[in-house]
Amino acid sequence: MSTKSLSARNNELSNPQKQLEYLSEGLFADGELPTFKHKLEKEDDFPLQPKPLEILQINLGYMCNQVCSHCHVDAGPDRKEIMTVETMQHCLEAIKKTGAHTLDLTGGAPEMNPNFRWFVEEASKAGIKDFIVRSNLTIIVANKKYYDLPEFFKKHNVHVVSSLPFYKREKTDKQRGEGVFDKSIQALQMLNAVGYGKEGSGLKLDLVYNPSGAFLPKDQDAMESDFKTALKEDFDIDFNSLFAITNLPISRFLEYLIASENYEDYMYELVNAYNPAAVQNVMCRNTLSVSWDGWLYDCDFNQMLELKVNSSVKHISNYDEDAIQNRNIIISQHCYGCTAGAGSSCQGTVA
């Protein structure tokens, strides 16, 4: 696997417009497969519109200590896009005014933002019901300055959502890099040691599963059971829930699909697995995504494709929740990933 981002390699897919062109050509241009818009129209779900806002998801930067093969953010150590204190201040003002009950911090590795701890401390004062930090786990053991993150998370009652592709070393390291599995296990044990994932502690520790290839995730509940059994027996690790997330055909996963000649088969699988029931609860309907530089998007995936919200309010600096909610959601063919099978969101299945 590559140790550099698409951006650092000057790969044409680092250009979001090139990705959108790829998703609109071929199978969809000649009518072999219906566009996502056509599917929505057929079910009388177009245009897709938001429900009351529940989740404010903020990307603190694309810098990461890993370069994972499936990463839709194209994150890595070579990415220098980092949210500034000024933009964080705008986010804090929005958090104070929002009707959302969940604050979701993501990246890259959000912990690598130099102002991460200050932002968590300030945001935790807003009284948000569920305060999520999405961690790749290995960042906790990457450098001694991160070793106390489990205690820091506990102090601020952070809900930790952690990436772990599988409960076996080979599959995890194949997707995320050599040595990632062992470091992830060490980090999970550190989180368990301060109470995360333990019954009665009130400290939530959830895991996220992404398939390692061009296929859809299996049943989420069955996988959660398998993960809990294996991690407990092999490493005495406890966690609360497992979220199964479908890989969307964008960024580095799109690169993988094209290079492995799986793109057409994967798009067929997504389209054929389209579930109208999943449309009702896709995350773009209850979530608003904020980029590292403060622009607003319907979801994290649209952010990576630079598809800003279709609203008069497009930036966190002039946040107006009522105005933002009065919009149509921007869609393209990548949206099939969120409506396939049981559906997919940052909180797992939706149908």
- Phi, psi angle pair for 6, to nearest 5°: -55, -40
67 and 180 in contact (C-beta within 8 Å)?
no
Residue 342 pLDDT > 90: no
**Which DSSP string corresponds to 285-317?**
GTEEEE-TTSBEESSHHHHHTT-B-BSS--BGG
Residue 350 has pLDDT above 80, yes or no: no
Instruction: Quick: pLDDT tens for 89-139.
Output: 999 999 999 999 999 999 999 999 999 999 999 999 998 999 999 999 999
Q: How far is the C-alpha of 351 from the C-alpha of 301, rounded, in Å?
A: 19
pLDDT band at 176 (very low <50, low <70, confident <90, very high): confident
Q: Which whole-number Å values give the CA distances from 211 to 106, 174, 312, in the listed order? A: 20, 11, 37
- What pLDDT shows up at residue 351? 67
Q: Which residue would you say has higher pLDDT here, 345 or 48?
A: 48
Residue 1 has pLDDT above 90, yes or no: no
* Beta strands at 102-106 and 130-135: parallel, antiparallel or unpaired: parallel
What are 9-54's pLDDT values in tens digits?
Answer: 999 999 999 999 999 999 999 999 999 999 999 999 999 999 999 9
Q: For the chain, what are the domain ranges?
A: 12-339
The model's confidence at residue 177, banded by pLDDT at 50, 70 and 90, is confident
Q: What's the whole-number average pLDDT of the chain?
A: 95
Rounded distance between C-alpha atoms, residue 298 and residue 282, angstroms: 11
Phi, psi of 226 (to 5 degrees): -65, -45
What is the topology classification, in CATH, of domain 12-339?
TIM Barrel (3.20.20)
> How much of the chain, in percent, has pLDDT values that exceed 70?
99
| Residue 99 buriedness (CB in 10 A; 0-12 / 13-18 / 19+) | exposed
Query: Hey, which residues does 348 pair with through a beta bridge?
Result: 345
Interaxial angle between packed helices 169-176 and 180-193, expressed in degrees from 0 to 180 and rounded to the nearest 10: 110
Q: Terminus-to-terminus CA distance in the chain, angstroms?
A: 33
Residues in the chain: 351
For residue 63, pLDDT over 80 is answered with yes
Q: How would you classify residue 225: left for phi > 0, otherwise alpha for psi between -120 and 50, otherwise beta?
A: alpha
- What lies within 8 Å, CB to CB, of 146 at 6+ separation is 111, 139, 140
Q: Calculate the CA 272 to chain-centre distance.
A: 24
pLDDT per position as a tens digit, 241-251: 999 999 999 99
